[in-house]
A and B are shown apart, each in its own frame.
Chain A
């Protein structure tokens, strides 16, 4: 059977005085509804890979197929939660999400339905209390949540998240992870998430994609995480399967593929 999302032989070279080969021969097939994490050392090319799937940059070789169609430009069917939230500072929380809703459902839903859908998605991430705030008036964690609500509101086929919980305190992080898990459980979307956090990867994912160090990074290993859903972080703390998966990722990152010592 053909995969839902097919990344095949993707390579990326940035042209410059010295051409820099960032990705080389990355291939990955993802089933519909799967939650896949990408983990790897800083600068290895994770964001670059995600941007290629999003269509924001074109790969130099290889390509991405979504439902058998080639991805050649960005679009709301592959919504992105950006590494730095990327909310528009001149719009309120509500308007940031509403802009996406209007653009995606402008023809399909009435005005009232779009309003309700905007509020619904903000309620999903518990941000319905701050609809009229501007991004500079809310905390970092709240901005991330609005970014997630904006992406979810597009009802994307694939949800792409670039370190969505980076730079958050542990408590906020845990709460957001739980809500993303709940949303994924309920809506069944296909998710690709970049993370630096081993626990987060194991907790959320069906598969963990571990990338080798750059330059010319590629997929080193893919680890299936066979833990029952819904998952509970407290129960997992005593689950041997959880610790096995965790150990496998740690071994990959810190034994076989240490961060390059040259810088």
Chain B
């Protein structure tokens, strides 16, 4: 039959189309990276340059790049171990700020009076730079790990809290009316209306929060020492290992990017395709 002979012609262009789509997404970043490396190489190759060009970085920090898992005891470990230690601190601090931020955000968002009273306080506190909290938390906890975790918490809790309370306040009157007509009790309202309605806002807050946590941990670790990517960078600076710093920076950026994507992905997964 004639329409069967048409079929391959209809199916055939799909494979190249897919390849093309992939190429369109992958090629531009690759080209950009290549250009950046080229310019960097050209600039830092000049005699008298204070920073190493990429070729030198690869050469001097080769072991660091290819073997993130080595462990010679003490602080002489591969980047994986430093990053893992930093991520562990971020995990504790961030989990705490997610729990506290969402819970307080819901409470505050429900009440206009609480919002009026607390919002100015939050707006001021959230602009305090992460590191400014460190001396205070060292004074309070007298130990480096809890202090670092507290700094993560206090840095990332504000966007979670503020976004959650905005999300709760933004629940359309329509949904509240549906809940009223159905006579949902507070628990049912919380589970069936409030959380799903505020979810996009909550995840926006969580996403900003995870970025801030990662910003804060690197800075905090520079000061508190021990195993961790922040101290690794500080240590490399003290030993004038500039190319190690550059490698570590790239890893820090990649991990931060992955954290952001992870939260965004979790948000989409939980919203299960509902329009946000």
Residues of A within 8 A of B (CB): 54-56, 73-76, 78-80, 82, 84, 86, 88-90, 99-100, 103-104, 134, 136, 154
**CB of B273, distance to nearest CB on chain A (Å):** 7
Given contacts A86-B174, A88-B196, contact A79 B275 (CB under 8 A): no
Question: Out of A55, A56, A89, which one reaches B274, CB within 8 Å?
Answer: A89
Q: Give the most central of A79, A86, A90, A134: most B CB within 10 Å.
A: A90
Determine, out of B141-149, B178-186, B257-265, the stretch whose residues face the partner at the interface.
B178-186
Please, how many residues of chain B have a CB less than 8 angstroms from a CB on the other chain?
20
Chain A residues with CB under 8 A of B178: 82, 86, 88
Chain A residues with CB under 8 A of B275: 89, 134, 136
Question: Out of B183, B199, B271, which one reaches A103, CB within 8 Å?
Answer: B183
Q: Which partner residue on chain B sits nearest A74 by CB separation?
A: B180
Question: Out of B181, B193, B199, B273, which one reaches A88, CB within 8 Å?
Answer: B193
Chain A residues with CB under 8 A of B184: 103
Chain B residues with CB under 8 A of A78: 181
Residues of B within 8 A of A (CB): 174-175, 177-178, 180-184, 188, 192-193, 196-197, 199, 271-275
Contact B192 A82 (CB under 8 A): no
Contact A82 B177 (CB under 8 A): yes
Question: Out of B175, B177, B192, B199, which one reaches A80, CB within 8 Å?
Answer: B177
Q: A82-B178, A88-B178, A90-B271 are in contact. List 7 more A-B contacts (CB 8 A).
A: A55-B180, A74-B181, A76-B182, A84-B174, A86-B174, A89-B275, A103-B182
Chain B residues with CB under 8 A of A54: 181
Contact B274 A76 (CB under 8 A): no
- Give 17 pairs: A residue, B residue, CB < 8 Å, sorted on A: A54-B181, A56-B180, A74-B180, A74-B181, A76-B183, A79-B181, A82-B177, A82-B178, A86-B175, A86-B178, A88-B178, A88-B193, A89-B274, A99-B182, A134-B274, A134-B275, A154-B182
Contact A90 B274 (CB under 8 A): yes
Chain B residues with CB under 8 A of A74: 177, 180-181, 183
In the complex, the 5 A-B pairs of residues with the closest C-beta atoms, listed nearest first: A86-B174, A90-B196, A74-B180, A90-B274, A103-B182
Chain A residues with CB under 8 A of B175: 86, 88
Q: Give the most central of A54, A79, A88, A134: most B CB within 10 Å.
A: A88
- Bound Cα distance A91, B175 (Å): 12
- Bound Cα distance A56, B275 (Å): 27
Q: Give the most central of B175, B182, B192, B272: most A CB within 10 Å.
A: B182
**CB of A111, distance to nearest CB on chain B (Å):** 17
Q: Which partner residue on chain A sits nearest B172 by CB separation?
A: A86
- Bound Cα distance A160, B112 (Å): 30
Q: Which partner residue on chain A sits nearest B188 by CB separation?
A: A103
- Bound Cα distance A260, B191 (Å): 45
Contact A134 B181 (CB under 8 A): no
Chain A residues with CB under 8 A of B181: 54, 56, 74-76, 78-80
- Bound Cα distance A56, B180 (Å): 7
Chain B residues with CB under 8 A of A154: 182
Contact B273 A99 (CB under 8 A): no
**CB of A158, distance to nearest CB on chain B (Å):** 12
Given contacts A89-B274, A134-B273, contact A82 B183 (CB under 8 A): no
- Bound Cα distance A100, B181 (Å): 9
Given contacts A134-B274, A136-B275, contact A86 B183 (CB under 8 A): no
Chain B residues with CB under 8 A of A55: 180
Contact A100 B182 (CB under 8 A): yes
**CB of A26, distance to nearest CB on chain B (Å):** 21
Q: Which partner residue on chain B sits nearest A103 by CB separation?
A: B182
Q: Which partner residue on chain A sits nearest B271 by CB separation?
A: A90
Q: Which partner residue on chain B sits nearest A56 by CB separation?
A: B177
- Bound Cα distance A80, B181 (Å): 8
- Bound Cα distance A84, B173 (Å): 11
- Bound Cα distance A56, B188 (Å): 19
Chain B residues with CB under 8 A of A86: 174-175, 177-178
- Bound Cα distance A194, B174 (Å): 17
- Bound Cα distance A57, B192 (Å): 23
**CB of A146, distance to nearest CB on chain B (Å):** 12
Chain A residues with CB under 8 A of B271: 90
Q: Give the most central of B174, B181, B182, B196: most A CB within 10 Å.
A: B181
- Bound Cα distance A100, B271 (Å): 21
Chain B residues with CB under 8 A of A90: 196-197, 199, 271-272, 274
- Bound Cα distance A154, B183 (Å): 12
